[in-house]
Amino acid sequence: MSPSVEFWVTLLFGAFGIHKFLQGKVGMGLLYLFTCGLFCFGWIYDTVQSGRRYFGAAHYTHELCSKPTSLSAVPAPGLFLDEGEVCVYCSPAQYTVTKNRVTGYVREGGGASVRIMPGLSVGRSTGVSRAIRENVSELYPGTLYITNHRIVFSGNHGSFDKKLNALTTFAVNPKGIELQFGSSFYELLVQNAARCINTLEGVLNKIPIE
Highest mean pLDDT (candidates 7-11, 31-35, 50-54): 31-35
Q: What is this structure's pTM?
A: 0.62
Residue 113: burial class (beta carbons within 10 Å; 0-12, 13-18, 19+): middle
Average pLDDT, the chain: 83
> φ and ψ at 138, to 5 degrees?
-110, 135
pLDDT band at residue 51, thresholds of 50, 70 and 90?
confident
| Strand partners for 141 | 94
Residue 68 has pLDDT above 70, yes or no: yes
**Among 22, 88, 19, 21, CA closest to 47:** 19
Highest mean pLDDT (candidates 22-36, 91-105, 119-133, 151-165): 151-165
Q: Where are the domains of the chain?
A: 3-65, 87-98+136-204
Residue 117 has pLDDT above 70, yes or no: no
Lowest-confidence range among 120-124, 128-132, 200-204? 120-124
DSSP state of 68: -
Amino acid 75: pLDDT? 94
> φ and ψ at 197, to 5 degrees?
-70, -35
pLDDT band at residue 135, thresholds of 50, 70 and 90?
confident
Query: How many residues are given for the chain?
Result: 210
Amino acid 100: pLDDT? 74
Amino acid 153: pLDDT? 96
pLDDT, one tens digit per residue, over 151-177 is 999 998 889 999 999 999 988 776 788
Task: Say how far apart CA 168 and CA 166 lie, in whole Å.
Answer: 6
Amino acid 195: pLDDT? 86
Residue 9 has pLDDT above 90, yes or no: no
pLDDT band at residue 71, thresholds of 50, 70 and 90?
very high
pLDDT band at residue 5, thresholds of 50, 70 and 90?
confident
Which of these CATH numbers, 3.40.309.10, 3.30.420.40, 2.40.10.10, 2.30.29.30, describes 87-98+136-204?
Answer: 2.30.29.30
Residue 127 has pLDDT above 80, yes or no: no
